[in-house]
Structure 1
Amino acid sequence: MASKPGASRDRGLIARHAATVLVGQLAVMAFGVTDTIVAGRYAEGALAALSVGSAIFISVYVSLMGGLQALLPIWAELHGGRRTADVGRSVRQSLYLCAAAIALGMGLLLFPAPLLRWTEVPAAMRHDVEAYLQVLAFALAPALLFRVFSTLSQSLGKPQLVTWLQLASLGLKLPLSIWFAFGGAGLPALGLVGCGWATLVVNYAMLGAAVWLLRSDPFYTGYRFWQRIEPPDWRQLRQFARLGVPAGLSVLVEVTSFTLMALFIARLGTAASAAHQIAANLTAVAYMVPLSLSIATSARVSYWLGAGDAALARRACARGFELTVLFALLFAGAMAALRWQLAAVYSANPAVIALGATLLLATALYHFADALQTLCVFVLRCYHVTVMPLALYCALLWGMGLGGGYLLAYRGIGPWVAMASPLAFWLMGAAALALTAGLFVALLLATLRRRR
């Protein structure tokens, strides 16, 4: 049987969409790279505090962002079905969800002390961490509102404007972080907190530009977003919740299994925290590739589902899977081969460089498994499969990955004595993600067979 013309175009469309999203995501990730390098050059203690503070902020922000990102299949299906007016109404309703996410996130970031005590973060670090998070709490609202704009644009197959805004924001973030951290021109050196203030300024600038585009760009004005917001549509909000709540909780489990490592590692000292921050930052940057491919693939799968063509939806999934495996192998290989050079970019301390290079061997395995499971979970959301991934995440990433890493680091597991090293967390995390990826692939294949 000859393939349909749409199938042959999907690989190219997914690749171009993902490349555009990737450029923007890397620009945003460069915020973290910038702060890591600036903090590391400012003081080793600042880098260690950033490791803890960024772990908490990322856990909160990315979890809430995951709930909003889960709306992409809804809007892509409406776009595929040519239901323009419904897209506008649905986006206005999403603002209720976004407001709740902002309130929850700010509450967590403004009062992190109980979490810092529970994870036994050293008292000497806590003041800097709390001051940094209090600034970022007020940067959360513009960040989440901009994420709604970004998700909308991606669902409509128009990520280019988002990418241009993200690139422009990097040009503002870099000099502001350096200036606010080290001081100058009458401004005192603010250290790590200065990096937080730079993020706040940039986030509001990005949101302002997004609002201007929504009001003035002809592509967006056709959806009539700026009508008076309707009262809460509980049917629509329940649909959002069925996708967004499990998705947000899944992201929470996934991200905290990654970021809580920093809090548990903090008790090993500043060198261990600094080395972990290097590995975590590079892993997060590399993750932007499978994340971009997953966003692009899910947008295309949902588009075909909305257009009523399940066969082309399956083929779009296959094209996305091929690209994800290819790039995961390339990035994992580069991470292992260039581990010494990469670690040296972040620190001049030989002990930090040596430990960081060791960790990057484990992160190469971690990245490959992470790429596969990310694509699977995004596509599963297109088919409204969200509860089973959440259950698997809880059991494997929290139980085997984070819990197993804690035991291997501090107490030992069976014949393996306690390692007292961040390497224990990365090894167990990689093993948990590998098992998760295998189970998600099987779940996705079963789902696709049922939807034939």
Structure 2
Amino acid sequence: MHETRTKKEKVLMLIKIVFPILVTQVAMYLVTFFDIYMTSRYGTEDLAGVSIGSSFWVPVYIGLAGILMSITPIVAQLMGAKKKEQVKQAVQQGIYLAVLLAAIVFTFFYFGLDSLLALMNLEPEVADVASRYIFAMSVGLVPLFVYMTLRSYIDALGATRVTMVISLLSAPINIFFNYLLIFGNFGFPELGGAGAGLASAITYWLILAIATWIIQTRNPFTSYRIFRNWPKLSLSRWIEISRIGVPIGISIFVETSIFSAVTFLLAVYGTVTIAAHQIALNFTSLLYMLPLSISMGATILVGYEVGAKRFHDARQYSWLSVGTAIVFSFLSACVLFFMRAEIATLYSSDPVVIKMAIQFLLFAALFQLSDAIQAPVQGALRGYKDVNITFVMALISYWVIGLPSGYVFANFTDFGPFGYWIGLIVGLTAGAITLSVRLLIIQKKIASQFVS
């Protein structure tokens, strides 16, 4: 990365940073996407089971992996401040923390998963698929968390094209193993939905191996010697990572878990409703990779400029990111609105599931704008290392405003299960407004200090 002086240079830099991140995010998400899609072609019960399983898996691992995302602003600010010698220790301590977090998640699933599933009164076949899917995925926890740390380090150096290449390899690897393990091709066991989980775990181990090899053998990474001279555990480094990362992780958790909470609440409506909801959520999540990628780019660029004390440039990158996401949100909404029937048909041949999925996709189109605003605003705030108030705002928006609104619409109006998606729209809109106000306050505060 380098200093930019004009808006044109900033736009080009934003594209340079964000495009590889987008390809990376899409490729990483395609692992889950094809788990859902290929399982949907196997059977409705397996689709519902993987849907429930991923609703447990995704918010837990994303929330804890979000802690490791703090490596990005930490390293970005160290680079901006010309403190390259401190980068290695930050990344190594992040790897230690990644292994610990993986162990915590595995322990949680091992001892608590069956009890949680029993509380949901699922059909026995669905509960069995969900349990086996999650335990299969858990085999890949350590490589997934360590890769998240390494990826944050690579991205913070501005080498986002490297993670793009690594992640591009993940999708075909995952599809290949899904083909073998879900359907039992070429003599492999036919595992159904559980096969999708095992295929993902194998994929995570392979991409970690690829990332490690690149960091060991390619510039500019070799000069940092990340995998040499491992230090002792540093409590002060863990505190620094956690101080920034825990609010980031919790913010991501409260945002992603609200979708999981909706999935659990929809379980009372039956397998068809769960399957239709998952179809809409799966495709919408794919479209969300664009504002999420812009958000991650904003964290890198804003963090770099803040580290260099170029606060005016940091402000420009913040709102340039938001504006870009808004433009693309209209395209996403159009895709969901005008192609909702075609999208539903991609996933299922069951006419009842298709009909309901089409209705869910209509509501999904409505929250594209709110999603496009809140994501890059959160990314910019992380670049400023402003994460505590952001977490509180996200918690209130999604869980205090959004989910209760959904419950009211679902249970006290004629919207039924679709009422929960109206609640999602309300929560995301509240988040977009409050987080934008927070960003304005932070920028105004910094500007006043800089002038004085």
TM over 0.5: yes
Q: Please list, as runs of the form range in 1=range in 2, the aligned pairs for 1:102-121 lying within 5 A after superposition.
A: 102-110=102-110, 111-121=112-122
Q: Contact 1:400 / 1:429 at 8 angstroms: preserved in 2?
A: no
SS of alignment partner, residue 185 of structure 1:
helix
- The answer on 1:42 being equivalent to 2:42 is yes
- Report the equivalent of 1:434: 429
- The answer on 1:425 being equivalent to 2:425 is no
Paired AA for residue 106 in structure 1: F
- Report the equivalent of 1:264: 265
Q: Provide the C-alpha distance between the structure 1 equivalents of 2:324 and 2:308, rounded to a whole number of angstroms.
A: 24
- Report the equivalent of 1:30: 30
- Report the equivalent of 2:313: 312
| Aligned residue-pair number | 444
Q: Contact 1:243 / 1:386 at 8 angstroms: preserved in 2?
A: yes
Q: 1:332 to 1:221 in 2, by over 3 A?
A: same
Q: Please list, as runs of the form range in 1=range in 2, the aligned pairs for 1:178-217 lying within 5 A after superposition.
A: 178-217=179-218
Paired AA for residue 60 in structure 1: V
Q: Contact 1:109 / 1:136 at 8 angstroms: preserved in 2?
A: no
Paired AA for residue 423 in structure 2: M
Q: Provide the C-alpha distance between the structure 2 equivalents of 1:72 and 1:184, rounded to a whole number of angstroms.
A: 41
Q: Contact 2:102 / 2:141 at 8 angstroms: preserved in 1?
A: yes
Q: Provide the C-alpha distance between the structure 2 equivalents of 1:346 and 1:339, rounded to a whole number of angstroms.
A: 11
Q: Please list, as runs of the form range in 1=range in 2, the aligned pairs for 1:26-425 lying within 5 A after superposition.
A: 26-110=26-110, 111-409=112-410, 411-412=411-412, 416=413, 419-421=415-417, 423-425=418-420
Q: Which moved more, 1:400-409 or 1:142-151?
A: 400-409
Q: Which moved more, 1:196-205 or 1:235-244?
A: 235-244
Q: Map Cα deviations across residues 307-326 of structure 1 (whole Å, 9 max, x no partner).
A: 12111111111221221111
Q: Provide the C-alpha distance between the structure 2 equivalents of 1:101 and 1:277, rounded to a whole number of angstroms.
A: 27
Offset of residue 33 of structure 1: 2.2
Q: Which moved more, 1:337-346 or 1:32-41?
A: 32-41
Offset of residue 278 of structure 1: 0.7
Paired AA for residue 113 in structure 1: D
Q: Contact 2:216 / 2:222 at 8 angstroms: preserved in 1?
A: yes
> Identity percentage over the alignment?
26
Q: Map Cα deviations across residues 225-283 of structure 1 (whole Å, 9 max, x no partner).
A: 12322223332222211111111111111111012211221221111011101111011
Q: Which moved more, 1:271-280 or 1:398-407?
A: 398-407
Paired AA for residue 77 in structure 1: Q
Offset of residue 4 of structure 1: 6.7
- Report the equivalent of 1:445: 440
Q: Provide the C-alpha distance between the structure 1 equivalents of 2:121 and 2:405, rounded to a whole number of angstroms.
A: 18
Offset of residue 16 of structure 1: 2.2
Q: Provide the C-alpha distance between the structure 1 equivalents of 2:265 and 2:438, rounded to a whole number of angstroms.
A: 32
Q: Provide the C-alpha distance between the structure 2 equivalents of 1:392 and 1:282, rounded to a whole number of angstroms.
A: 27
Q: Provide the C-alpha distance between the structure 2 equivalents of 1:389 and 1:18, rounded to a whole number of angstroms.
A: 22
RMSD: 1.7
- Report the equivalent of 2:17: 17
Q: Provide the C-alpha distance between the structure 1 equivalents of 2:90 and 2:374, rounded to a whole number of angstroms.
A: 28
SS of alignment partner, residue 182 of structure 1:
coil
Q: Contact 1:325 / 1:371 at 8 angstroms: preserved in 2?
A: yes
Q: Provide the C-alpha distance between the structure 2 equivalents of 1:122 and 1:70, rounded to a whole number of angstroms.
A: 40
SS of alignment partner, residue 230 of structure 1:
coil
TM-score, normalised on structure 2? Answer: 0.94
SS of alignment partner, residue 451 of structure 1:
helix
**Structure 2 unaligned spans of 5+:** 448-452
SS of alignment partner, residue 82 of structure 2:
coil
Q: Provide the C-alpha distance between the structure 1 equivalents of 2:93 and 2:37, rounded to a whole number of angstroms.
A: 40
Offset of residue 7 of structure 1: 4.3
Q: Provide the C-alpha distance between the structure 2 equivalents of 1:344 and 1:350, rounded to a whole number of angstroms.
A: 9
